[in-house]
Amino acid sequence: MTPILYESSEVDFKTNGLGKLAEIQNAEITEQRNGILQLTATYPVAGRRYNDISIGRLILAKPSPKDANHAFRITNLQLDISGKNVEIQADSITYDLRNNLIKSVKIKDDNGLMAMNAIKGAMVHQSIFDFYSNIETVSSTELSYVNPLEAIAGTNGSILQYWGGEMLRENRRISMYKRRGDDDVMTFRLGKNISSMTYTIDTANLVTKIYPYVKQTVNEVDKYIEGDSVESPNMNKYFDIYIRPVDVSQDIQIEQDESEDSIKAKINEYAKNWFTKSENTDVDLPEVTIEVDVISLRESADLSDQFKELENIGLTDTVTVFVPEFNVDVTAVVNELHYDPVSEQVISLTIGTARLSYTDYNKSQFEDMQNKITVINEEANYAATKLWDTETELNFSTDGIIATDPNYPQRLVIFNSAGIGVSEDGGKTFGNAITGKGINATAITTGILKAIQIIGVTITGSTITSRDGSTQASITLNNGELTFKNRDGRDVAAIVPTTDGSSGVANGSAILQYPGEIFSINTNDPNAGMSLPLIKVPADSNVNDPYFELPGKLSGGITSRDNTLWISARNQVILSGNGGSSNALNVYGDHVDVLGNFNVYNGSKNAVHPTREGFRATPAYETAESYLGDIGEAITDGDGTIEIKIEDLFGDTINTDYAYQVFLSSYSKSHVWVSERGKTSFVVESDEPNVPFTWELKGKRRGYEGERLVDSGLTYKDAEKMYKEVQASDEDID
């Protein structure tokens, strides 16, 4: 379909609105599974609807082969480099929900539809959108101060996290379906020889054999009871066996004093179907990600029939993919789809095996938390046992309960309603160790303080030093400065606050490299035990000769090696000398464009050609004024006359309102001359009929007709400064 432009307030889309965007170009709609839905395109500034295109207005377009026409709100407009087209970015109209607010909503033991309705009902402002879900899962959540889209699929506690599902955006409704797409729409085989398809196979999370066990702790001793190993039907399809120990302690019920054989039988009963349990589905299959260039497949005579089903595939549809490396079939889902709404064709798509669902992810996170709580409980029990083993005498008085160690009678601990106090002088004085307000840190005199988070604490008047126990390397924080020593104990760097040298006003901070020391920012490989510098300040850099090296490269590709600076990029390198407001030099993979004037000082402009004696340069021919030339051959007719048309394209480059020059050379003894010069042609006559000749036309370049020996603005002083070759100054020139 042809996309249609509408006013920002349109909600029905039953008319042609402001009009069809027939001249729209490069239109592409991108949608990700439970992610973005966005339209991008370009439109010529000379187009009929250019003046109607503005921020906030809506574009109606078909988003995919299976979905109805969808409205996209224009959010960004920008002229391209040429200035001839405007680049359009428009987001799904459902993104309007980001502008609403849910102050608070509590959902308790409801299915997906009830949860979606609760979110709609909690919005501060009423909305044109209906909310829907067919998910029967029952769950609960609480959310505060989020927008509706976040509540559905964009924050901790969202519908997507606790109920799961796949989102479908429509012009007046947003839905969470248990399954949005169709299952098993096609089957195909991966092949390395298909250039239109790239794929990766990941076996990092593969499991083909498990060893189930339970863990019991008796008298502080851990005991493991192991069941029989369980193998996946796909185990022998891989070059290696992928083993995982599986703790089933929480999955089976163990009675007190139950025999080991009985426990083992329960383990085996539970674990025998482990690979077919829903939470372990496809864990014995590799994860596959496929990038498909559908346009290239469509243009391939050999592959177009094999992959024709991709023409009508939809987001979240599943396909069966045969992985020849392991001789297995895996089920993969369309996670991202790019669609041309004008030609109504799929451009490209990304297919991947389904990842862990939000529900499964949260379950694993909860299990991790439970394991950590178990560890804390074990450590607490250990500490309690140690306290129990300590010899203590207890005395009860009106002051509280006093605990005394018979071996150290001067050390007392008192417990009463005010807290816990500690004495080192046999009870003459007590210091508060724990009160109702917290712990008095002055009473902590030994051991290691392990803290997850310290809140509301100010450390003053202290020097904090972290040392390497085996070398002299250290980091010291003192008086607001952080200093670093290397393994030999030398000061090598510091992070310090800075001030303005003239005013003395604080203006920031700095990382200092000490004289004779290297400072670098490195990328590290812990497995190889090495790191490589990305940015490096050499040891001989100093205030008189400051410099740095760039051994690594920026994402755009700037590197420094062998005293040479390399600038590279995947598509294009742009140089600008006006703060980036426009580009002046564009470097592509096969050519260079100069936008604006191009001056060469103290050199020549050459083309270089291969010859039998090497590569030789031919300098450019130049004149005092800006001329362009064309050359041709012709023959006068039987009357000794011929009209030569100025080629249209060449005529676009010169201005024939100004006098142009024609130079003739006869290829016979006859004479030829120009008898007439017009705007689109010139006439040549000869003193004999049928005279062959050559002609050369030179006309003034359009837009530069008045230029002659233009002043470059460079003075002799500038040239002397630049090249140190010119000794004269401006005063030497009359």
Structure tokens at 187: 């089957």
Contacts for 265 with CB less than 8 Å, ≥ 6 apart:
none
pLDDT at 515: 80
User: Do residues 347 and 339 touch, judged by C-beta distance below 8 A?
Assistant: yes
> Where do the domains of the chain lie?
209-276, 399-443, 464-537, 557-595, 606-700
pLDDT at 469 over 70: no
Of the pLDDT bands very low, low, confident and very high (cuts 50, 70, 90), residue 442 is low
What letters, b where the CB count within 10 A reaches 16 and e where it falls short, cover 458-476?
A: eeeeeeeeeeeeeeebeeb
Report the range out of 258-262, 286-290, 489-493 with the highest average pLDDT: 258-262
User: Do residues 165 and 176 touch, judged by C-beta distance below 8 A?
Assistant: yes
Structure tokens at 717: 């002083």
> Does 733 or 443 have the greater pLDDT score?
443
Over the stretch 313-329, which tens digit does the pLDDT of each residue have? Answer: 899 998 888 888 778 88
Q: Which of 382, 393, 205 is nearest to 288 (CA)?
A: 205
pLDDT at 216: 86
User: Do residues 47 and 2 touch, judged by C-beta distance below 8 A?
Assistant: no
Mapped to the 3 state alphabet, what secondary structure does 415-450 carry?
A: EECCEEEEECCCCCCCEEEEECCEECHHHCCCCCCC
**Cα 564 versus chain centre, distance:** 30
Integer Cα distance of 202 and 285 in angstroms: 9
Of the pLDDT bands very low, low, confident and very high (cuts 50, 70, 90), residue 621 is confident
pLDDT at 390: 56
pLDDT at 731: 42
> Does 720 or 732 have the greater pLDDT score?
720
Place of tokens 């008086």: 479
Rounded mean pLDDT of 690-703?
96
pLDDT at 204: 85
Of the pLDDT bands very low, low, confident and very high (cuts 50, 70, 90), residue 281 is confident
pLDDT at 175: 96
Integer Cα distance of 537 and 546 in angstroms: 9
> Does 518 or 685 have the greater pLDDT score?
685
What is the CA angle 619-625-626, rounded to 5? 75
Rounded mean pLDDT of 34-44?
94
Integer Cα distance of 4 and 49 in angstroms: 10
Full-model pTM: 0.48
Phi-psi region of 28 (alpha: psi -120 to 50; beta: other; left: phi over 0): beta
Over the stretch 557-577, which tens digit does the pLDDT of each residue have? Answer: 677 666 677 777 767 888 877
> Does 552 or 613 have the greater pLDDT score?
613
Q: Which of 239, 246, 247, 263 is nearest to 209 (CA)?
A: 246
Integer Cα distance of 518 and 533 in angstroms: 11
**Cα 153 versus chain centre, distance:** 20
Of the pLDDT bands very low, low, confident and very high (cuts 50, 70, 90), residue 277 is confident
Element (DSSP H or E) covering residue 296: helix 294-299
**Eight-class DSSP state of 701:** B
Integer Cα distance of 289 and 333 in angstroms: 10
Helix (H, G, I), strand (E, B) or coil at 358: helix
Report the range out of 67-76, 345-354, 442-451, 526-535 with the highest average pLDDT: 67-76
User: Do residues 171 and 191 touch, judged by C-beta distance below 8 A?
Assistant: no
User: Do residues 38 and 89 touch, judged by C-beta distance below 8 A?
Assistant: yes
Integer Cα distance of 625 and 628 in angstroms: 10
Average pLDDT of every residue of the chain: 83
Phi-psi region of 526 (alpha: psi -120 to 50; beta: other; left: phi over 0): alpha
Rounded mean pLDDT of 658-684?
96
pLDDT at 661 over 60: yes
Share of the chain above pLDDT 90, in %: 42
User: Do residues 517 and 490 touch, judged by C-beta distance below 8 A?
Assistant: yes
Integer Cα distance of 459 and 188 in angstroms: 64
Report the range out of 177-191, 473-487, 663-677 with the highest average pLDDT: 663-677
pLDDT at 577: 73
> Does 341 or 441 have the greater pLDDT score?
341
pLDDT at 373 over 60: no
**Eight-class DSSP state of 549:** B
Place of tokens 């790019």: 338
**Cα 346 versus chain centre, distance:** 24
Phi-psi region of 586 (alpha: psi -120 to 50; beta: other; left: phi over 0): beta
Contacts for 447 with CB less than 8 Å, ≥ 6 apart:
none
Tell me the C-alpha to C-alpha distance, in Å, between residue 212 and each of 234, 243, 265, 266, 350: 19, 11, 11, 11, 36
pLDDT at 376: 46
Contacts for 28 with CB less than 8 Å, ≥ 6 apart:
39, 40, 41, 338, 339, 340, 347
User: Do residues 421 and 432 touch, judged by C-beta distance below 8 A?
Assistant: yes
Rounded mean pLDDT of 25-35?
94
**Cα 162 versus chain centre, distance:** 26
User: Do residues 293 and 351 touch, judged by C-beta distance below 8 A?
Assistant: no
Of the pLDDT bands very low, low, confident and very high (cuts 50, 70, 90), residue 491 is confident
pLDDT at 663 over 70: yes
Rounded mean pLDDT of 117-141?
94
What is the CA angle 599-602-607, rounded to 5? 70
Over the stretch 517-534, which tens digit does the pLDDT of each residue have? Answer: 888 888 887 777 778 888
Beta-strand relationship, 243-247 and 209-218: parallel
Over the stretch 399-429, which tens digit does the pLDDT of each residue have? Answer: 778 887 777 777 778 877 677 888 877 777 7
Instruction: Confirm or reject CATH 3.40.1050 for domain 606-700, answering yes or no.
Output: no
pLDDT at 580: 60
pLDDT at 358: 36
Structure tokens at 414: 């008192």
User: Do residues 287 and 293 touch, judged by C-beta distance below 8 A?
Assistant: no
pLDDT at 724 over 50: yes
pLDDT at 519: 85
User: Do residues 79 and 45 touch, judged by C-beta distance below 8 A?
Assistant: yes
Lowest-confidence pick of 118-122, 344-348, 450-454, 709-713: 450-454
Rounded mean pLDDT of 70-77?
96
Over the stretch 157-174, which tens digit does the pLDDT of each residue have? Answer: 999 999 999 999 999 999
pLDDT at 690: 96
Tell me the residue length of the chain.
Answer: 734
Rounded to the nearest 5 percent, the helix, strand and coil shares of the chain are 15, 40, 45
